[in-house]
Amino acid sequence: MTINESIAWALQKIFRQEKMDQDAYQQFAELWEMVTKDFQQRKRYSVHGPDHWRRVARNGLLIAEDSGADETVVCLFALFHDSRRVNEVFDPGHGQRGAAFAKECRNKFFTITDAQFDLLYSACEGHTDQLYHADPTIATCWDADRLDLGRVGNRPNPKYLNTDFAKMAAQERDPAKFLATLWGNRQL
Ligand SMILES: [Fe+2]
Ligand SMILES: [Fe+2]
């Protein structure tokens, strides 16, 4: 099994507290591959697909250093939030479908606590039509997604962001370049 260098690094970062729990790392890497393949079977390319998910994971982990978000939930949000999109436009309900897919996969492909799952479910479900959240993990997930608006030619607007870090990044001259540099320019 091969996984993208950036995701490997993200996983190392998540599991660093557990001194790189190899089983958890392997389980997460396999989950990432499974959801990616499932998506690619249905859609050849999407601006909301796996390339975007990796950048959302990166952005979320960068924000989490400051916001204190749960990094495991942030990475699972990155993977699931757009996993059930069926078109490239607004696609109402895709957040709810992504949340339901995460629920289907829980305990088959990954294990997290009930409290973590509640955050993941709410973050996926709400990302399509809510902007702000008081919980730092959900706020981090949504900001991580919005900081990747450069891929469709839009600048992220600090007005629609929750966290101090994301607001700061959005005001950089080139937010995408700024985030890539902070990530050590690892391939995404
Ligand atoms: Fe979405
Ligand atoms: Fe997204």
**110: β partners:** 106
* Angstrom distance (rounded) from CA 58 to CA 77: 12
Q: What is the DSSP string of 56-116?
A: HHHHHHHHHHHH---HHHHHHHHHHTTTT--SSS--TTHHHHHHHHHHHHBTTTB---HHH
Going by the DSSP 8-state scheme, the letter that residue 45 receives in this structure is: -
pLDDT of residue 21: 65
- 89: in domain: yes
Number of domains in the chain: 1
Q: Return the pLDDT at 1.
A: 37
CA dist 115 to 19, 79, 119, 122, 163, Å? Answer: 23, 18, 7, 11, 21
In a domain, 188, yes or no: no
* pLDDT of amino acid 79: 95
State residue 178's pLDDT score: 96
Q: Ligand 1 center to residue 82 CA distance, Å?
A: 5
- Is 9 within the bounds of a domain? yes
Confidence at residue 34, expressed as pLDDT on a 0 to 100 scale: 93
pLDDT at residue 62 in the model: 93
CA of residue 19 to ligand 2 center, whole Å: 30
Q: What is the mean pLDDT, run by run of 10 residues, along the chain of 188 residues?
A: 60 58 77 92 90 93 94 94 93 97 94 95 97 98 97 93 98 95 80
150: in domain: yes
The rounded Å distance from CA 26 to ligand 2 centre is 24
- Would you state the pLDDT for residue 13? 65
Q: Which residues does residue 19 pair with via DSSP β-bridges, in sequence order?
A: none
Q: How far is the CA of 113 from the centre of ligand 2 (A)?
A: 24
CA of 92 to the centre of ligand 2 (A): 13
- Ligand lying nearest the CA atom of residue 129: 1
Question: Which residues have a beta carbon within 5 Å of ligand 2, which is an ion?
Answer: 82, 145
Where in the sequence is the domain holding 111, given as residue range(s)? 5-182
CA of 84 to the centre of ligand 2 (A): 11
pTM of the predicted protein model? 0.92
Question: Does residue 136 lie within any of the structural domains?
Answer: yes
pLDDT for 27 equals 81
Predicted pLDDT at 43: 83
Calculate the alpha carbon distances from 12 to 6, 169, 185 in Å: 10, 24, 16
